[in-house]
A and B are shown apart, each in its own frame.
Chain A
Amino acid sequence: MLKILIADDHEFIRNGIKQILFDEFDLLHVEEAADTEELLNLAFADEWDIIISDISMPGKGGIEALQIIKEQSPSVPVLLLSIYPEDQYADKVLAAGASGYLNKDSAPNDLVAVVKTILSGQKYVKNK
């Protein structure tokens, strides 16, 4: 069973991500966080195969949350999403320990492909 934690302050966006993943993966357990505090609480409450988080959330924000998660659980892969183009943030979040960075306007197939890449232990870097 694949365990995925999704963090975004917009419920319909969490729904969208969840739906795209449920369409692809048969055995999936998903938990959701609506802000950074909830994300950090849940991140350390269980073992996750991947954490997918928005970069801009109320509270500390996705990048600071990423740093905290990587300090305490270095092996858990984190994929950050945002509305900003890849070239604006990708290097920064990868340097901070993310396993990938994806723009929210990416096609559902791209999200699935990136999640699969990360689950296989690799990092996702667009066009590099």
Chain B
Amino acid sequence: MIRILIADDHAIVRRGLAQLIREEFASAEIAEVGDAEELIALVTEKDWDIIICDLSMPGRSGLDALRQIKQMHPSMPVLIMSMHDEDQYALRVLKAGASAYLGKDNIHENIIKAIRTVLLGKKFITPSIAEKLAEALENDANQLPHEKLSDREFDVFKLLAGGKAVSDIADQLSLSVTTVSTYRSRILEKMNFKSNADLTRYALNNQLI
């Protein structure tokens, strides 16, 4: 018997989904919860073959719940559904460990296929998300090292490349020395460099300072 847990703050949505699933999986054990807290409580209590979770719920979001579930049970499949367009959240949700992401506009046509695929231990990716993933890979491949930095990391990068000491940068940006040191480590890691001298050379070659 398949055990499915549905989390959505809209009772009508839960009932509609449960009905849809029962038409296909007549013997499924289906439980419903209305928020992330209840969801985590039920996930802690017992094992589920698949969790279907809304992205936007009052209190903690579905994405937060997904992260916690994947920490507790890395192999428990979670399918995230959302009212948002697929494009907006799909990649973020899949990176966080979801097995599928469905926009509510295409749930009806895809939910059963998605459940079957996920139960086989695979990810369910719609063609439009697959296209988005391919685009993201291409963008990553063409991205210059400094383009991977966040706005704040880029500020710190320029100051480091310009020869400033960590303590001076901390003063200038009103940050603690520890925070700037953390930024420095992250910058070196993201750009695949080893020292401040590497940063300076890169910045000069790319006319960033």
Q: Which residues of A contact B (CB under 8 A)?
A: 10-17, 19-20, 81, 83, 104-108, 111
Count residues on chain B whose CB falls below 8 Å from chain A CBs: 18
Query: Can you list 21 pairs linking A and B with CB atoms under 8 Å apart?
Result: A10-B16, A10-B104, A10-B107, A11-B16, A12-B13, A12-B16, A12-B20, A13-B16, A14-B16, A15-B19, A15-B20, A16-B14, A16-B17, A16-B19, A19-B16, A20-B15, A81-B12, A104-B10, A106-B11, A107-B11, A108-B12
Nearest chain-B residue to A83 (Cβ)? Answer: B10
Interface bits B155-181 vs A (CB < 8 Å: 1, else 0): 000000000000000000000000000
Interface of A is mostly: helix
Distance of A20 Cα from B12 Cα, bound (Å): 8
Distance of A20 Cα from B107 Cα, bound (Å): 20
Would you give the shortest CB distance from B189 to chain A, in whole angstroms? 42
Within the complex, which residue of A12, A17, A108 is in contact with B17, where a contact is CB–CB below 8 Å?
A12
Structural contact, A105 and B9, CB atoms closer than 8 A: yes
Within the complex, which residue of B15, B34, B105 is in contact with A10, where a contact is CB–CB below 8 Å?
B105
Nearest chain-B residue to A17 (Cβ)? Answer: B12
Give the chain A neighbours of B34 by CB distance below 8 A.
105
Structural contact, B16 and A105, CB atoms closer than 8 A: no
If A16-B12, A17-B12 are given as contacts, then 14 extra A-B residue pairs at C-beta distance below 8 Å, sorted by A number, are: A10-B107, A11-B16, A11-B108, A12-B13, A12-B20, A12-B111, A15-B19, A16-B13, A16-B17, A83-B83, A104-B10, A104-B12, A107-B11, A111-B11
Give the chain B neighbours of A16 by CB distance below 8 A.
11-17, 19
Q: From residue 57 to 88 of chain B, which have CB atoms closer than 8 A to chain A?
A: 83
Q: From residue 1 to 39 of chain B, which have CB atoms closer than 8 A to chain A?
A: 9-17, 19-20, 34
Would you give the shortest CB distance from B62 to chain A, in whole angstroms? 15
Structural contact, A105 and B17, CB atoms closer than 8 A: no
Would you give the shortest CB distance from B74 to chain A, in whole angstroms? 29
Structural contact, B9 and A15, CB atoms closer than 8 A: no
